[in-house]
Amino acid sequence: MSRLVCLLFAAWAWLPLASVAWGAGRPNLVFIFSDDHAYQAISAYQDPRGLLDTPNIDRLAREGMRFDRCLVPNSICGPSRATVLTGKYSHANGFYNNTNSRFDGTQTTFPKLLQAAGYQTAIVGKWHLVSEPTGFDYWEILPGQGVYYNPPMIRNGKPVKHQGYVSDLITDLALAWLRQRDRSKPFLLMCHHKAPHRSWQPNLKYLGHDHDRQYPIPETLFDDYAGRGKAERQQDMTIAKTMTPQDLKLVPPKQLTDEQLQAWNAYYEPRNEAFRKANLQGRDLVRWKYNRYLHDYLGCIKSVDESVGRLLAYLDEAGLAENTLVIYSSDQGFYLGEHGWFDKRWIFEQSLRTPLVVRWPQVTKPGRINDDLVSNLDFAETMLEAAGVPVPSEMQGRSFVPLLKGPTPADWRKSLYYHYYEYPGPHDVARHYGVVTAHYKLVRFYEPQFDYWELFDLEKDPRELTSVYGRPDYAAVQQELHAELGRLRQEFKVPDPDPAETILKPAAKPGPAKAKPKRKQAKG
C-alpha cells in the first residue's frame, strides 16, 4: 500500500463521523497567490511612502489576521511554488531554481491529500513548475512565465487562447469554476496571478492611475553597498543599470491587438518623447526610471486587488464567506527601489519577507496582527489541518492554525533557515544560506569567488547596511547563530555540498566575431 493511501486511510479514520459526509463542517479553502508582490505595496502594511491603496486585500487583514514576519526559504518564483505545494525546502522537493529544475508531480502535495479526502481542487493562473499540475480536478495555467495581454493558457492539458488582460481572465476563470462546482463538496481554489511580475505591464484601464505622481524615494535608492561584501556589489539587479527598454515601456509588448496598442501608445508615447528630449543623466535618470517602474508595478497590483475584491464578493453572494478560509500571499517579497534594486533572491528583508493576510471567520478574531516567524513552508500544513487532514511527517513546516485561533504556542519557531541556489543566473546573485531570528541574520555566501560571512543586527540596523561579523562585541551572538544554523541544516538534512542538479553553467560568451547578445529578461 502506498504512503499516500496510508495517509488517506488515517485521515478518514481520524475525521469525526459527522464530517465524513463530504463538506459537513469542513471549511472551503481559497488561496490567492500573486507573483513578486512586495508587502510595501499593500496599504495594510503601512509603508511610509504610501505607495498604493489596496482596499480588498486590506479587507482580508481587517477581517482576519495580518502576518508581519512571513519569510520564505528560497526567494524565487518556482522554488517558492514547490514549497507551497509540498511543505518542504527546495532540497527536499527537488525544485531548486528557475533555470533547470522540473517539479516532480508524483510526490505528495497538499492538493492531492485534500482531493483524496473529498475536496474538489482547482488551480488557475501561473504555475511555473515545468511539469503539468497533479492533484487538481481542474487546472488552467499559463505556459511558462505567461504574458499579460491575450495570454495563451493550458486547460487540463489542452492549449486554449484568451483575449484580454491576464489578471481579469484568471479571475473570470476562477469564478466560472466556483459557479459550476459540485456544491455537495468542500473545495480548494488556488488562484495564482502572474502580476505584478516583471515586466510590469498594467491593465490598459489603469494606465495613468497615479496621475504622473513623483513617488517618495527610499533612503537607500543610491546605496553604494559599503559595509557589505562582494556579492552585494557585483549583482545585476539595479534600477540604474539593469532595466531594459521593455521594462521601462520604451517599446510596447508584442502581444497587443491594434486597439490595445493604440491605447498603450496614447499613454506612453507622449511621456516617452518628453523623456527622450530631457536627456536625463546620473541620479536624475535613476529617479525617472524609479517612477516609471512604480507606476507600472503598482498599476499591475491594482488589478490583483480588484481580483481579490471580486472573489470576496462572490463568497459573500453565495453565502460561503463564513465557512471559507481565505489566504492572500505572494511567492516572495520584492524590491521597490530599496538598495537601488528591483527583483528578489536575497536573504535580505524586502526579498525574504512576503505578505500574508488570512481571514477565517468564527476562528480568527478580526484585526489581529502577528509577528511570529511563519513561512510559506507552513501553508500546506495549515490548509491540511484546517480541513481535518493529517499532516505527513515528511513535511518540514508547521501549521499556523494555532496562531489563527489564539495565543502563540510556547514552542513556536524562533529561527528560520534560508537557502538560495540560482547562480550563475539572472541577476547574478551569489548562492547563499543563512539563519534568521527576530533580531539577527547570519549569512554565508559560499561560491568560491565570494566565500564570506555576514551578520546583521536587525534592531540597530534594520536597513541591513553594515555587517558586524567578526566584531568582538558580537562574538557571543555570532557563536550562538553559527550553532543554530548548524542545527537547522542538520534537522532539515541539507546536502553538503549542493547536489549536482543545482550546479549551473555560466552562459557561453560570444566569440569576437559575433555581435553582443541582447540582455535577456530575468526569469522568476
Q: What is the CATH number of the domain that holds 466?
A: 3.30.1120.10
CA distance 433 to 456: 14
Domain boundary residue, one of 363, 378, 404: 404
Average pLDDT estimate for 333-359:
98
Predicted local confidence at residue 6, as pLDDT: 45
Total structural domains within the chain: 2
Average pLDDT estimate for 485-512:
84
Q: Are residues 328 and 468 in the same domain?
A: no
pLDDT level of residue 524 (50, 70, 90 thresholds) = low
Predicted local confidence at residue 507, as pLDDT: 62
Predicted local confidence at residue 348, as pLDDT: 98
Phi/psi of residue 188, nearest 5 degrees: -115, 120
Residue 467 included in any domain: yes
Q: Are residues 339 and 463 in the same domain?
A: no
In three-state secondary structure terms, 102 is coil
Q: Are residues 309 and 427 in the same domain?
A: no
Structural domain of residue 157, as residue ranges? 27-404
pLDDT at residue 17 is higher than 50: no
Total Cβ atoms within 10 A of residue 298: 24
The residue type found at 127 is: W
Cα-based distances in Å from 507 to 78, 100, 424, 425, 446? 20, 13, 8, 8, 20
Full strand arrangement of the beta sheet holding 452-457: 415-420, 432-437, 440-445, 452-457
Average pLDDT estimate for 83-105:
98
Residue 2 included in any domain: no
What is the distance, to the nearest Å, from the Cα of residue 379 to the centroid of all Cα atoms in its chain? 12
Q: What is the CATH number of the domain that holds 392?
A: 3.40.720.10
Residue 287 included in any domain: yes
Residue 510 included in any domain: no
C-alpha cell at 424: 550563475
Residue 410 included in any domain: no
Q: What does the pLDDT look like over 188-241, one tens digit per residue?
A: 999 999 999 999 999 999 999 999 999 999 999 999 999 999 999 999 999 999
In three-state secondary structure terms, 111 is helix
Cα-based distances in Å from 174 to 32, 121, 188, 387? 10, 11, 11, 21
In 231-378 the beta strands, taken as DSSP E runs, fall at: 324-330, 356-359, 368-370, 374-375
Predicted local confidence at residue 510, as pLDDT: 41
Residue 309 included in any domain: yes
Phi/psi of residue 30, nearest 5 degrees: -120, 115
Residues 6 or more apart whose CB falls under 8 angstroms from that of 257 comprise 149, 150, 163
Phi/psi of residue 191, nearest 5 degrees: -105, 105
Q: What does the pLDDT look like over 100-153, one tens digit per residue?
A: 999 999 999 999 999 999 999 999 999 999 999 999 999 999 999 999 999 999
Q: What does the pLDDT look like over 367-379, one tens digit per residue?
A: 999 999 999 999 9
In three-state secondary structure terms, 435 is strand
Q: Are residues 132 and 264 in the same domain?
A: yes
pLDDT at residue 511 is higher than 90: no
- Cell 536573504 maps to which residue? 347
Q: Are residues 388 and 444 in the same domain?
A: no
Q: Are residues 73 and 192 in the same domain?
A: yes
Length of the chain: 524
Predicted local confidence at residue 19, as pLDDT: 35
Domain boundary residue, one of 370, 404, 438: 404
Phi/psi of residue 472, nearest 5 degrees: -60, -35
Domain boundary residue, one of 404, 434, 461: 404
Residues 6 or more apart whose CB falls under 8 angstroms from that of 295 comprise 202, 209, 210, 213
C-alpha cell at 465: 547596511
pLDDT at residue 452 is higher than 70: yes
Total Cβ atoms within 10 A of residue 213: 12
Q: Are residues 355 and 436 in the same domain?
A: no
pLDDT at residue 15 is higher than 50: no
Q: Are residues 427 and 381 in the same domain?
A: no
Q: What does the pLDDT look like over 348-359, one tens digit per residue?
A: 999 999 999 999
Residue 511 included in any domain: no
CA distance 333 to 76: 9
Contact 174, 15 (CB under 8 A): no
Q: Are residues 156 and 32 in the same domain?
A: yes
Residues 6 or more apart whose CB falls under 8 angstroms from that of 367 comprise 61, 62, 63
pLDDT at residue 409 is higher than 60: yes
Q: Are residues 90 and 202 in the same domain?
A: yes
Predicted local confidence at residue 9, as pLDDT: 38
Q: Are residues 455 and 327 in the same domain?
A: no
The residue type found at 214 is: Q
Predicted local confidence at residue 25, as pLDDT: 81
Mean pLDDT of the residues in the chain: 93
Reported as type and span, the H/E element at residue 187 is: strand 187-192
pLDDT level of residue 505 (50, 70, 90 thresholds) = confident
Reported as type and span, the H/E element at residue 323 is: none
pLDDT at residue 515 is higher than 50: no
Residue 478 included in any domain: yes
Q: Are residues 390 and 426 in the same domain?
A: no
Residues 6 or more apart whose CB falls under 8 angstroms from that of 110 comprise 85, 86, 87, 379, 380, 381, 383, 384
Contact 403, 381 (CB under 8 A): no
pLDDT at residue 11 is higher than 70: no
